[in-house]
Chains A and B, each alone.
Chain A
Amino acid sequence: MYAQMVKSTGAGVKSREEMSAEEAAFQDRIDADIKIEPKDWMPEGYRKTLIRQIGQHAHSEIVGQLPEGNWITRAPTLERKAILLAKVQDEAGHGLYLYAAAETLGVSRDELTEQLLDGRMKYSSIFNYPTLNWADIGAVGWLVDGAAIMNQVPLQRTSYGPYSRAMIRICKEESFHQRQGYDIMMKMAQGTEAQKKMAQDALNRLWYPSLMMFGPSDKDSVHSAQSMAWKIKMDSNDELRQKFVDQTVPQAEYLGLTVPDENLKWNEEKGGYDFSEPDWDEFFDVLQGNGPCNVDRMEKRNAAWDNGAWVREGLMAHAEKRAVLKTAAE
Chain B
Amino acid sequence: MSKEWPLWEIFIRGQHGLSHRHVGSLHAPDAEMAIKNARDVYTRRNEGQSIWVVEAAHITASSPSDKGPMYEPSESKVYRHPTFFDIPEDVGAM
* Cβ < 8 Å to A, chain B residues 4-27: 4-5, 7, 24-27
Tell me the minimal C-beta distance from A91 to chain B in angstroms.
Answer: 12
B30 touches A322 (CB 8 A): yes
Which of A86, A103, A165, A318 interacts with B29 by CB under 8 Å? Answer: A318
A110 touches B4 (CB 8 A): yes
Residue-wise, chain B 14-56 has the 8 Å CB interface mask toward A (1 for contact) of: 0000000000111101100100000011001100000000000
Q: Is B2 an interface residue (CB 8 A)?
A: yes
Bound Cα distance from A96 to B5, whole angstroms: 14
Residue-wise, chain A 85-113 has the 8 Å CB interface mask toward B (1 for contact) of: 01001100100110010010000111000
A312 touches B5 (CB 8 A): yes
Bound Cα distance from A108 to B24, whole angstroms: 16
Q: Which residue of A lies closest to B33 (CB)?
A: A315
Q: Is A169 an interface residue (CB 8 A)?
A: yes
Q: Is the interface of A mostly helix, strand, loop or mixed?
A: helix
A93 touches B41 (CB 8 A): yes
Residues of A in contact (CB 8 Å), total 28
With A39-B64, A89-B44: A96-B26 Cβ-Cβ less than 8 Å? yes
Bound Cα distance from A169 to B30, whole angstroms: 25
Q: Is A316 an interface residue (CB 8 A)?
A: yes
Give the residues in chain A near B33, CB-CB below 8 Å. 315, 319
Q: How many A-B Cβ pairs are below 8 Å?
A: 49
The bracket for how many chain B residues form the interface is 20 to 34
Give the residues in chain A near B91, CB-CB below 8 Å. none
Residue-wise, chain A 261-279 has the 8 Å CB interface mask toward B (1 for contact) of: 0000000000000000000
Q: Is B63 an interface residue (CB 8 A)?
A: yes
Bound Cα distance from A14 to B63, whole angstroms: 28
Q: Is A37 an interface residue (CB 8 A)?
A: yes
Give the residues in chain B near A41, CB-CB below 8 Å. 64
With A96-B41, A100-B24, A319-B30: A39-B61 Cβ-Cβ less than 8 Å? yes
Q: Is A193 an interface residue (CB 8 A)?
A: no
Q: Which residue of B lies closest to A314 (CB)?
A: B29
Q: Is A330 an interface residue (CB 8 A)?
A: no
B27 touches A316 (CB 8 A): no
Give the residues in chain B near A313, CB-CB below 8 Å. 1-3
Give the residues in chain B near A315, CB-CB below 8 Å. 5, 29-30, 33
Give the residues in chain B near A39, CB-CB below 8 Å. 61, 63-64
Give the residues in chain A near B3, CB-CB below 8 Å. 313, 316
15 residue pairs from A and B, CB less than 8 Å apart: A37-B64, A89-B40, A90-B44, A93-B41, A96-B26, A97-B24, A110-B2, A165-B24, A169-B24, A312-B5, A313-B1, A315-B30, A315-B33, A319-B29, A319-B30
